[in-house]
A and B are shown apart, each in its own frame.
Chain A
Amino acid sequence: MIIPAVIAIAVAPVYLLTSDITWIVLGFVVQGAFGGGIYAQNPSCLAERFPTEVRATASAFCYHQGAIWGGFMAPVLVYFPSSYDVSLAIPMLAGTVGGMISFTVAVLCGPETRGKELVPDLVVS
């Protein structure tokens, strides 16, 4: 997940710091491959990180608390152009780059779970 996240940082300015429609379309579509691809391991990695007893609850909690933080972003993004003389592109760029750096560090702090067998062992309690 780190590979697409890091590439996405480089792709973001391509379509955000231009008014050329060709670069916007091209950049945004390419961002689909990288920025849009970082979620590919959400189901597998969340499932592999938590024991069977609590797996669905843990996934639900981690995922949906994340959605709440994300939900705050829309008003934050709109706040800047309404209060300062900047276009929406600037907060979008800052959010993408900052978010991706945070994403990368969070993933590095978490465990590597590739190839982990999901087992029925009792782990909790």
Chain B
Amino acid sequence: MAPSLLAGWLADRVGRKTPLMISILWYSICNFIAGFSPSFWFLLLFRALLGIGMGTEWPAGAALAMESWPARSRGLMSGVLQGSWGLGFLLSSLVYGFLYQSWGWHGMLWVGILPALAVLYVRFFVRQPAVWVENRRRQREQQREVRVPLFSIFKPALLLNTFTACWWMASGFIVYYSIRAVFATHLQKDLNLSPGLVATPIAIANLVVFLFSGVWGVVADRLGRRGR
């Protein structure tokens, strides 16, 4: 949580691009180094470090994407962005299926360096959102700098908003874990299904998650974010 708050602070103070690039580089390199692991503890260390980079990518990336996209179809873009976790899981299972036999787990981890290419793209082709640039300029000009945004979100004007957003997010994560965390274990232990049979519904569901996140994005643009 602390690294993601640091990324949020950098994104608000220095710009959306900086923490995004740092986090992508961070987890790509950690993955690559983990691919050379001589021991279990080395592997564990670098996979744990990798988690820091993963957690910090989202706040900066989401703000950047949402500020850069026009309001009328922002819900769709939001769905595509968020639903891509399903696509990512699907891709990783494909990499596993096709390459694990020949490349082994070292090779799997080396593939993880590929996202680093995205840093080049962000560096040279992505602009800081105009909204952020102008907001930052006004903060300096009027000397009304928001130095510690983390305190500001608990000010009376924003407190209720922050609270309901936290409640909404917590509920979402509880559902996520309830549906997925032990589903594979449930099938294998309670119903004695083989691991191969278990992988199939999960892989298909991941694709469905991606497709329908786009669908719900369109619904959100038509009927509202709350969906009614």
Q: Is the CB–CB distance between B168 and A69 below 8 Å?
A: no
A94 to B146, CA, bound (A): 42
State the majority secondary structure of interface residues on A. Answer: helix
A63 to B217, CA, bound (A): 19
A54 to B91, CA, bound (A): 34
- Shortest C-beta distance, B61 to chain A (Å), equals 8
A36 to B206, CA, bound (A): 8
Given contacts A53-B146, A88-B189, contact A31 B152 (CB under 8 A): no
Give how many B residues have a beta carbon under 8 Å from the other chain's beta carbons.
105
Q: Is the CB–CB distance between A96 and B168 below 8 Å?
A: no
Let me know if A58 is at the binding interface, CB within 8 A: yes
Contacts of B209 in A (CB 8 A): 32-33, 36-37
Within 8 A of A (CB), among B166-209: 166-179, 181-183, 185-187, 189-191, 193, 197, 200-202, 204-209
Contacts of A88 in B (CB 8 A): 182, 185-186, 189-190
Within 8 A of A (CB), among B39-80: 55, 58-60, 62-63, 65-67, 71-72, 74-75, 77-79
Q: Is the CB–CB distance between A33 and B212 below 8 Å?
A: yes
State which of B28-36, B114-122, B154-162 sits at the interface with chain A.
Answer: B154-162
Contacts of B77 in A (CB 8 A): 44
Q: Is the CB–CB distance between B170 and A66 below 8 Å?
A: yes
